[in-house]
Amino acid sequence: MTFRNTDDDNPNAEGRATLEQLVRWRRDVRRFKTDAVPDALVERLLRLADLAPSVGNSQPWRIVNVPSSELRAEIVGNFEAARIHAGEGYSGDQADLYYRLKLAGLKAAPVHLAVFCDQGVLQGHGLGRHTMPETLDHSCACMVTVLWLAAREAGLGLGWVSIVDPAQVSKTLGAPPDWKLVGYLLLGWPEEEHLDPELERHGWQERTPFETRYFTAGNAPLSNEAKDARPAKPTRPGSVTLVGSGPGDPELLTIKALFALQSADAVLFDDLVAKPILDLVRPGARLIDVGKRGYRKSCKQPDINAQMVSLAREGLKVVRLKSGDPLIFGRAGEEIEACEAAGIAISVVPGVTSAQGAAANLKVSLTNRDHARRLQFITAHDRRGMLPKDIDWSAVADSAATTVIYMPKRTLAELTEIALVHGLDPKTPAIAVANATRPDERVFVSTIGAIAAALDAAHPDGPVLVMLGEALRYATARDAAERAEQIAAAHGVLPEQS
């Protein structure tokens, strides 16, 4: 998951996240890339965090940057010793799980920050501290939370290390006696993104329902036992609907898909969903970007499954919005299985798949009865992003079939080379379409022997599909005629009339 931010300092910047996304995604990051974070970005985030509220405007936080490798090594040793000591308090499976949860980011994170609370601060004139002196610590926690959210909005991750001996950290860093360690923070670019906390993902502790922590004074005695004994259920059952948004043109949405978008409480949308379609979502609904970006770090499928289930368990109508048709190379099977396993009601609204949209714009029949006995869809990459090993090459080489290749950008040259070896005629018509049905649609008319080179030279942005087969000759003939007319018009020569 890449957070949306327009800041130039963020190499992953693509837009700006909503506050709700930041709150839901402000996970404790434990694995970082070693890439440096620009000093200007770190300073900007710290200055923003310094605006956090504090009791009596006391601003008791003291932030210590730790760039020294020697000091960091001492902190790592402190952590390892504290980790072993804390592990002695667990036994059995809990102990095994505890020792498997390692904080690799302590060595990889490019920025280390120690946050102290100055217990002797005079600023604020003691306002609020005479009755609740611990609010100094609470103020520092507010500052860290602001820093945490600001870092995530910039695409950075923040980890809060609590398994350390505070006194030893203070000694290592030479902190004054009145400074109390609040947290040792790690800042850097996340190695991976997840929607759920790592401790929940690995089975340490699941998140419990909100209702177990919400009370109304005067109705009954305040008691954890009463809350824990009563199962917290949403006032209405939640549900998930998988909706196909089509290839991009919002007018290709089905009426049922439009109804789903306008009644949704939350919409989890893919990277390829066109913005005009997102504009049709009911105002007030949660919009959550869970796009999986090919060949880049992106949101993991198990995280998306967990997010769908979590939102539905809150009693929400959840729409999982996908480009094209969710049942055609859309990983719908995994999401349906996740919802059914969790007891969540799920339905599917099909969409116009990109092959249909592209063919419609080209005005070509993919099943022309004079040339095609079969229409087949194949994907050009597997779970690893590689060309699948189990493609039926004899079917691809069949001259009486129309083949549509989804997601072929990286593997098209390899695919066409193997298909030609298996007997596919290199002169077979082939058409590549980028951003089918959208305003920036691009069409590349060629043959299967040359289409990979044409695409590589053009390097089009956005989703691409390739169609091949004799049924496409009508489209290629029209394209050739249009090009001839354009050339003739450019030179002031009218084409011959027959």
Active site amino acids: 270, 292, 407
Q: What is the distance between the alpha carbons of residues 157 and 186, in angstroms, rounded to a whole number? A: 8
Phi, psi dihedral angles at 475 (to 5 degrees): -70, -40
Beta carbons of 35 and 190 less than 8 angstroms apart: no
* Cβ partners under 8 Å of residue 77, min gap 6: none
User: Packing angle between helix 412-421 and helix 451-458, nearest 10 degrees?
Assistant: 170
Classify 482 as helix, strand or coil: helix
**Which tokens is 312 given?**
């539905």
The DSSP element (H or E) to which 426 belongs, if any, is none
* Cβ partners under 8 Å of residue 462, min gap 6: 272, 434, 435, 438, 440
C-alpha closest to that of 267 among 246, 291, 248: 291
Beta carbons of 290 and 195 less than 8 angstroms apart: yes
Q: Beta 239-244 vs 266-269: how paired, if at all?
A: unpaired
Residue listed under structure tokens 């919005």: 321
C-alpha closest to that of 458 among 443, 447, 471, 448: 443
Classify 18 as helix, strand or coil: coil
**Which tokens is 9 given?**
């300092």
Q: What is the distance between the alpha carbons of residues 194 and 471, in angstroms, rounded to a whole number? A: 44
Q: What is the distance between the alpha carbons of residues 93 and 91, in angstroms, rounded to a whole number? A: 7
